[in-house]
Each structure stands twice: as structure tokens, then as C-alpha cells.
Structure 1
């Protein structure tokens, strides 16, 4: 019977066949241990010379790293293994022999591993990170589907930019200028006016020349938009959503978190509600911490966000930023018009901002005024203004950066490990 490694718990004591690759092996004169992987997981295959016979044992000892094979054996429980099972091998069929596989069990430099990203993905560590990424995606759909949201796909090629064009990739769209999307938000607002509660999940692009561990050129965003939701409603959805995906990873990816050495006790504390501080309070806090370089009206950098986050065990909302720091579409606080009804959600443990969100301006005259103030082309935003002209309602939304969220939950240091094929300032290969 042909099965996957993920299914072995259902076949204890039975002989099965698994299509796999040899991740590693070690052997003595009488026994060979084969570290096998098939994409669904890892399992150890044990070949005992006295039971398997001379020919099979010889085949096992000759196997090379990353050769593909069909492995037949009897599933046995093994309490010493993190996986809980092993395979007592009774047969081997080599499909394709791998020769001189470049990524050996020794240490390799980051650039070497990035040059071989197509192979590095096969490692236990990268496998664990990708499984956690997948669980975050799965639980994202679960969360929004259960709450009546409709999935909408905004365009990747756009004729305008929600936050200006200085950090966008320009291209020719036949005889017009176009840009790779930095956010689907404006289109999601249109979708919310048609469908009520919507969310998108897709690639976004920033031509930002940054080399920090938090930045990618191409990354994925989850962007919900909700009609008839005010600022407070919006924050509630955000904290419930983040708590949901963290608890889902804890429930379904325990083995992967252990493989990465993640301190799960920190994740177990991530439950709604989350603490909140205003921008004003954040500035005051930073001054007390000795950050005298930052003044009211300045944006926060990574050291500032980290200092604030270190005071909390959960993600923390920083709310009510100065209007001058934020995009044109954010609703001002009616009690204090120099700040807007927005919030950034800062992850614990130094991972920075994972969500940016706000209530959107729903007044036609105010939005028209803001577009002029930001020196944007009113003609390019004509359709966006019409959303306020024909049945405008208060509405809110946010965007969560998937890769930063994966980095935080999995505990890896750099976002380059959280996406299958990262696009960085100096990297377009492979």
C-alpha cells in the first residue's frame, strides 16, 4: 500500500510503501538509519542487516543524499522520535540517484544557501517554516469565511498608487503608464461597497531600497475591508484575527515549532484583546527610555518599535498617528484633526509592524481636498471618489504582511526564510 509519511500513524504494524527522498543517512556494520522525507514530513527508516539481508543492506549503505526512492517497510511506534514513528525497512527501489548534492550537513553561508534556494527549501528548517506559512494561510481563509467575508482579487497592475508612486515598480501598459500594486486597498474599498465585508490575499511590491531583516521587495498581504465598520470595530477584527492564526499554528504545527526551537509559551499568551497606546503616549514612553532623537511628527523606526513592543507580552496597537505621516485616505479624528483614526500593530520580540489599518475617509469633499493636498491626479482617482458620491458609508480596513507574521510566529530572524523564493534588493535568482 502506497502512503505518505503524514499518514503512517494509521498503519502501525502494517507494511507500506512511501515515495521519498533521502535527506541524510548514517550506518554501522550492522544497521543503517535512513532519514527520509516526502514533503508531508520526515521519518527514520531502519535497515537491520541480519533481518534485511546482505543485498538490501548494501543498497541502503550506497544511497546518496537526496536520491529519490520507493521505501517499503513496517510502521512501528518509536517514542524516542519527535515524530513518534519509524519504518523498519524491508525493501528499497532507487528511482533517481543524486550525485554531489551541493547542500551537505555542514555549515553553509547565507549567500550560498540563497543561491541554492530551490534546494534549500528541502531542509527540515525550511520545511517547518513553509508548513507554518501554509497553516497561517489556511487559518486566514477559515477566519474570514466563518465570519461572512467574501474573497476578492484586486488587480496587480494599476494605473495609480494608494500611497504615491515613489516606491513603485513602473511598467508600460501598452501606451499607458502602469505600476505593480503596493496594495489592493482602494479596490477592496470598492468591493466592500458591493459585498459588505471582503478580503484579498495576494502579492504586493515595494521598490524600497531596504536591506533590513524585515523587508522584501515582493511580499504577500491579507487585506480585509468592511462597510459600516468604524475604527473600534476594525481593531476588534484585527486582534481576533491575529489571535486566531497564532492559536491555529499552536494547534496544528507543534512539531514544526519544536523543530525551529520556538518558545511556544510566548505564543500561548497571544489572545485578544491586545494592549493599545496612542502615538502621543508612545513618544512620551520613548523619551523616558532615552530616545530623545524622536519628536512629535516623526515616524517610528525599528529601534523605536522594538522598545515599545518589549514592554508587552502581546502585540500592541499604536493608534492616532499624525495626519502628516499617513496616506491621504485615512479618516481624521473629529475631536482632534491633526491625527487620524489609524493603528499599527507591533509584534512582540522585535518583529516590528505586522498590520497597518484605519477608518477610511467617507466624505466626498474631504477626500477630494486630501487628494489635492497630496498632489495626486484627481482624474486617476475619479472612480475612487465616486465610491463617496454614490451611497458612501463609514468603512474601515487593514493589511497584514504575511512574511513578517510568519517570521514572528515561527521565530526565524529574517523574512527571507518565510517566503519560498524571496525577492531582495540584490536578489532576483533563482
Structure 2
């Protein structure tokens, strides 16, 4: 008898198989018991008919507590009534691990309760579907960049300096000196691009922002490509192709997860159409002011309501180009005809999800960068290695960073970013 996973049920129709699973829920109707089974790959139904099994097995099936782990044996059958399309005609049940008084029941629970039980909440069908979306985004990311001959490079998590300032960094003692948890791997990826041409990193980053919004996490994952011999226009094309690729792969490989999340496929399909619209920062400010946003002035960064209005005006992901120099990091390339803006872009997701990508062309002039480092009050010695990149064969180069959790939140159509990571770290939460 073959042991299979639920996701492979379609390959074994008419066969008797054995599956290791947990009982997510159950119900009975007279002489039939229905078990909602999950094994980490998918959910489907086990049907226990009293006349087809021993009295002991039928009684056991009716009494199985929620989240009891079992070995279940039965015949795979097609089931046109379910979205999954298959079910198991149960013949035998063997209890592996008992479960009693499972705290997360089918009733409503408060968010704090669920977050306190995140280690168990991950088992629910919605949370499982969100993690499947996250997994597909990660898988598709590697496929996209590997196919385009990018090299994966891992920047350090402990750093001696800050690429975007020290105001939101976690400081730690590194023997006899200060160190910080990385807020971005970008500067190191620039060095890697000078060695390998096209590179990307994918790893954890940390921001000590005291923010409680639905878009912010303390610990999150960033995907950061860097590309030598490339200007911003080429980078924007890669960015939109990458995002459209993620959406298409979600449509191709996560149909069941999207169904569980009640995510409208026709909405996602719109986001595979390229090119994405673009608007300058100047025009975005004018648009907002013309539509009643009196709180925004030129030179200020956009908040959530501003980004939402701009994206919803296009009903697509939209690039906002060339922000004011004073509100962006020191390393961005100045605009060739204006001193007050830099060559950069943020990609704003529609449906109110805000910025998912930030990127720019990088400054290549040694003296300009040295002046910027001094203007920002940064330690020249700490950045001497970064300046070396402009001394030894500098080239035009550009890059961007995509926030994994914000992207998953948008693609899955969920409300809060805390559900897009297995164990979220928030301002007031480091448990479990």
C-alpha cells in the first residue's frame, strides 16, 4: 500500500492509499462521518460510512478530537462537489497523537488570542493558504532571476554601518564595537554586482520603527537585485516583468489557495498586463492637491492615503518616479537636469496595499558620494569600502528592493501584513 500526500490524490484515483494527517474538523450525519483532513500540502474530506467499516472504526471517527494526528487508509475518489476535487473513502484509522481541548475552535477568536497562539493558528486553512502564496512567491523569485543569469549573493546580517541612516536600527555589541542588524543588504549587493554583474539577495532585514500600522513589521524579508551596466529605465522593465511573473505563477500554481482566500482571479489577471503606468512625483503631488489632499506639499513623502489614491486612480501597480533628494537615501543618483530630485522609483500596489518596491539608479561619482556621506553625518571611515567601488572601475548600476510580506499581503488579498510571515515580530510582540 502506497503512502501519499493529499496534494497527490489526483494521481491515485481508485487506489487504496495511506495518508498521515491531522483532523482539522469533523461532522457526522447518521451513518456517515465526515473528517476534514489536512497534511500540510492540502485539505480534503475523508468519508467514513458505518456499513463499510468496523463498529470500532466508525465510533472512533465520530469521536476524534480536533487536531488529533492519524494514519488513515482508504480509496481515493473524485469529488466534483469540492473545490479540491477528490476525497478519501476511509477504511482504517490509526491514532498517532491525541489532541484534547484544542484552543482554536471554529468559533470566532480575537486577533490577540490568535497571535498568542500563532504556533497553532498556522494550521488553519486560511493561514495555510497564505503561506502557500508566500512559498510560491519565493519559488518564482528564484526561477525568474536564475533564468536571467543573476547570481544569488548573501549580504551580512550584522553590519558596522547603516545604508539608510541609524534612526531605525537595532544596535548590538560586537565585542568591543557597535554593530547593527541589517536594514538592507543593498550596499553589499552593489559590491557584489561589481564582481558578478547581476546579483540578487533574499533574506531577513530589520527596522526598529515604532509603528503599529497594518503595513509594518519589525523583522521582514527583502529581495534585493543589483545590476551593473544598467540604467533606471532598464531596471523598471525588470521590476514590472518580475511582479507580473509573480502574479502569473500564483494564478498557475496556487488555484486552491486563492479559492480558500476568496481572491478574485480576474483582479489578479489585470496585474499581469504590461507596462505598468508611471507618474512623476511632481505630477503625483499635483494630482493629490487637485483631489482634496490639502495635507501634502512638494518635498514631503507620501502616506498611506496618498499612495492608495494614486494607485486606485490607475487600477494597476504604478511607478512614482523621481522623488525629492532630501527625503531619499544618500546613495541615489542625482537627476541630470535638476538638483532637487534623484533618479528613483517606488512601485505602489493597487487596492490600498502601498509601496512594495523601492529602487533607484546609484550615484557613481566618488566626490558626490563623499559629499553626501558628510552631509548625512555618516562616518567616512565606515563607508570607505563603499567609496572604493567608485574608485576601481565604477559603472552605471541600479537596483531595487521588494518587501516579501507586503507583496504577499497584496497578492493574497489579506488585510494585515502580520499574517504574511509565519511568526511576526511587531512593536509589542516577540512571542511566540
Q: With structure 1 as the length reference, what TM-score do the two structures score?
A: 0.99
Contact kept in structure 2, 1:149 and 1:198, CA below 8 Å: yes
* 5+ residue gaps, structure 1: none
Matches within 5 A, 1:1-400: 1-270=2-271, 271-400=273-402
Equivalent-residue separation in structure 2 for 1:318 and 1:204 (angstroms): 24
Tell me by how many angstroms 1:29 deviates: 2.3
User: For 1:256, what is the secondary structure of its paired residue?
Assistant: helix
Equivalent-residue separation in structure 2 for 1:349 and 1:273 (angstroms): 18
Equivalent-residue separation in structure 2 for 1:245 and 1:319 (angstroms): 22
Contact kept in structure 2, 1:115 and 1:429, CA below 8 Å: yes
Tell me by how many angstroms 1:28 deviates: 2.2
Please give the per-residue CA displacement for 1:215-242, whole angstroms capped at 9, x wherever unaligned.
0000000000000110101111100000
Equivalent-residue separation in structure 1 for 2:13 and 2:325 (angstroms): 62
Contact kept in structure 2, 1:202 and 1:221, CA below 8 Å: yes
Please give the per-residue CA displacement for 1:142-178, whole angstroms capped at 9, x wherever unaligned.
0000000000000000000001111000000000100
Equivalent-residue separation in structure 1 for 2:387 and 2:149 (angstroms): 27
Q: With structure 2 as the length reference, what TM-score do the two structures score?
A: 0.99
Tell me by how many angstroms 1:19 deviates: 0.2
Equivalent-residue separation in structure 2 for 1:91 and 1:332 (angstroms): 70
Tell me by how many angstroms 1:50 deviates: 1.1
Please give the per-residue CA displacement for 1:356-407, whole angstroms capped at 9, x wherever unaligned.
0000001111111111111111000000000000001010000000000000
Equivalent-residue separation in structure 1 for 2:29 and 2:345 (angstroms): 60
User: For 1:338, what is the secondary structure of its paired residue?
Assistant: coil
Tell me by how many angstroms 1:424 deviates: 0.3
User: For 1:405, what is the secondary structure of its paired residue?
Assistant: helix
Tell me by how many angstroms 1:184 deviates: 0.1
Contact kept in structure 2, 1:266 and 1:313, CA below 8 Å: no
Q: What is the RMSD of the two structures over their aligned residues, measured on CA atoms?
A: 0.6
Tell me by how many angstroms 1:272 deviates: 2.1
Equivalent-residue separation in structure 1 for 2:412 and 2:29 (angstroms): 36
Equivalent-residue separation in structure 2 for 1:73 and 1:170 (angstroms): 56
Paired positions, count: 430
Equivalent-residue separation in structure 1 for 2:13 and 2:266 (angstroms): 32
More deviation in 350-359 or 289-298?
289-298
Equivalent-residue separation in structure 2 for 1:205 and 1:241 (angstroms): 24
* 5+ residue gaps, structure 2: none
